[in-house]
Structure 1
């Protein structure tokens, strides 16, 4: 029997409690790689719960990479992977010099009126518009601060965010540990000047705005292969990663890889920058816990409202180790940096009224329905790069085919990104197809255009 105890008096679901305690047993060394867990039926009997509770917990742990299910044998702890240590690659260019773009990276017909099937436009449920309008009416009726606001952000908003991050991401925070930012890149801009001199590692392929922000601050970018275990950060002072849903490949960073990266960061005396940008949108299991829960002294946590509300709200949050936190606040106080007060006040209302939870649930349902439709259309022609989750999926195929499909979509009035535009040295090619910011009809029309162009290659 596992040494776990479930508390039925709390609001935390029993499967979540069980998964969290198994994680703790692995991290403490009580459970090690190769250990076989009790069967879901036996553990359910031991704990006096339904089998559904243990099955959900095991599914969650397997999705996160803490365990693996071996058909006919059972569920085993897996904290090691047969991988090769990755040597970082460096990408540099002078500050202010725009990257060169080949003709093939540009669609043949790009219209300002094109519907965008991108990774950053979320679904907005029209049924939630009254709550959205109510939040802004409250902003208009509330007296703004007479001077510069607290550089950490509105105290009431930080309290609401601390409660939400504890409930949804497993991060137990005091509100004063949170700094409200104007989005993820603003969080990076606040952090980068406080790091010691040296390059910053960024996933490849990865978030283009993050790499560009690092370069803008005059630092080298070290390319971290996004689908391999990182055991050596070289002389990098930080590593920027998207472990909950790798951008843009969609991979969830396995538990073993998270621990390996943290160990590499400790050896290099570097920090891990965790961008948790769309962690809410898993359809198969509960959202994977934040990487920051594994090491609060080594991880800088970045979150954003861009994917759960709208990108133009321009709000995010940063949680940094104590020393960096103080340096960031000192500079923000001097420079009067901070997120816009009206946006902060509106988000406070959206959180208080439960609007944000409703928006996430609504969007998750829509994405869970649309993702399989994209998979059904694309599977005959391309390979899915990661699990179906979030508001987009990435498909691997030759660049010539991807360009032809992208151009066919553009001719039909739809903008779809090439995977190659997210890559620096990886050489991966394909299409990144978003499905949050379009209607069902538009999605079907775009997929028809894309697959029509790919059929030509098959025939």
Structure 2
């Protein structure tokens, strides 16, 4: 016996009646309301029921048969086809209860951007709108003009003497790390512990075994058997210390002896307040270090733009892969960043943010220093306070109750047993930071 179809056709709809009918039958098969093997009304009977010409139902049935949703059986009628592999769709879940006020996250990755420079930001995007995009797929290495600007900037700010042909544009640090992973020989990779969680996750997603490298004991690292070691030497994430010069030399010597590639994530090196920024590790050995830079800490994480400088054989493998996959950083983003660099916007926001962060760092150190171990001068846009586990949990919970999300040091650990708070002060206002510090100091007092 034929099934009754629950179909409503709307003559005010701009879509043809046959298309409406096919859409509704297709949806009912997909969500299980019309099970496999169900017999449908004949095209004549359905047309009479819906008050439409038979040609409407015939065209709808023919379309669904062609798509494999229905099948016609000679002399028997039209049936829901088997072998679709579809399961009934789950019933729609009830709407969640309204969420409370959003927490102010004092994280490590959101920069403060001086609002005085918003006009320059808008001008950059007007420049993009006026420029002509590439006719086809653009150069996977990145815009040539932007690579020229970045090479000059790396020499000036990071002591990294590179040719524009040595620079590759990426869609952020994670994307650059992914490209390096594809270019490495087989083998596990080492990642600092505690360290950048995204680096460990990216390596695991690439099928690599992750070896924990104790962040506080670089001199004791054994790189034997590793394809690479991912490090943050200018400002260890999240403990905050700078890798000493002798340790850098020892790390490069170990890499040379074992053949491991050192991957330097230089995520916020420009924000140092007590002395000038420490030169990049890659400036000591271009053949053993792949350098990852990013615009996320200076301009905006949402730009999703970064750059890679690596040994020639690594870049060659990266280029071949990107050429085949048409993988490239988004052209409009590259073009906007080029305008921001040429106009001096990036230098201005970095100088302004450095002054703001220096003042905030003093406030954080004064408020939290008496309650735990800050581990040295505060740099970048966060401070890490080492605490007993119970104290860290109490302060974290008190902050959440007051509307602030303060990350815990333990969340950045894999094997390390370390506790404390990682207090970011970039992506908040001065008033929000002051309020959060009051809550934390009250909880720790």
Match 2:142 to one of 141, 144, 153: 153
Q: Are the aligned partners of 1:249 and 1:386 in contact in 2 as well (CA < 8 Å)?
A: no
Is 1:193 paired with 2:186?
no
Match 2:291 to one of 301, 326, 340: 301
Q: From the superposition, tell whether residues 386 and 112 of structure 1 become closer, same or farther in structure 2 (CA, over 3 Å).
A: farther
Is 1:409 paired with 2:389?
no
List alignment gaps of at least 5 residues for structure 1: 1-109
Q: Secondary structure at the match of 1:394?
A: strand
Coordinate RMSD, CA, aligned: 1.1
Instruction: Please name the residue that 1:347 is paired with.
Output: 337
Is 1:292 paired with 2:263?
no
Instruction: Please name the residue that 1:88 is paired with.
Output: none
Q: Secondary structure at the match of 1:417?
A: coil
Q: Are the aligned partners of 1:157 and 1:348 in contact in 2 as well (CA < 8 Å)?
A: yes
Instruction: Please name the residue that 2:157 is paired with.
Output: 168
Give the 5 Å matches for 1:42-441.
113-228=102-217, 229-441=219-431
Instruction: Tell me the distance in 2 between the aligned counterparts of 1:451 and 1:393.
Output: 14
Q: Secondary structure at the match of 1:131?
A: helix
Instruction: Please name the residue that 2:436 is paired with.
Output: 446
Q: Are the aligned partners of 1:230 and 1:261 in contact in 2 as well (CA < 8 Å)?
A: no
Q: Are the aligned partners of 2:113 and 2:353 in contact in 1 as well (CA < 8 Å)?
A: yes
Q: Are the aligned partners of 1:367 and 1:390 in contact in 2 as well (CA < 8 Å)?
A: yes
Instruction: Tell me the distance in 2 between the aligned counterparts of 1:234 and 1:427.
Output: 24
Q: From the superposition, tell whether residues 111 and 210 of structure 1 become closer, same or farther in structure 2 (CA, over 3 Å).
A: farther
Paired residues, number:
346
Q: Are the aligned partners of 1:280 and 1:287 in contact in 2 as well (CA < 8 Å)?
A: yes
Instruction: Tell me the distance in 2 between the aligned counterparts of 1:112 and 1:266.
Output: 52
Q: Normalized against structure 2, the TM-score is what?
A: 0.77
Instruction: Tell me the distance in 2 between the aligned counterparts of 1:267 and 1:323.
Output: 18
Q: From the superposition, tell whether residues 378 and 252 of structure 1 become closer, same or farther in structure 2 (CA, over 3 Å).
A: same
Q: Normalized against structure 1, the TM-score is what?
A: 0.74
List alignment gaps of at least 5 residues for structure 2: 1-98
Q: Are the aligned partners of 2:235 and 2:268 in contact in 1 as well (CA < 8 Å)?
A: yes
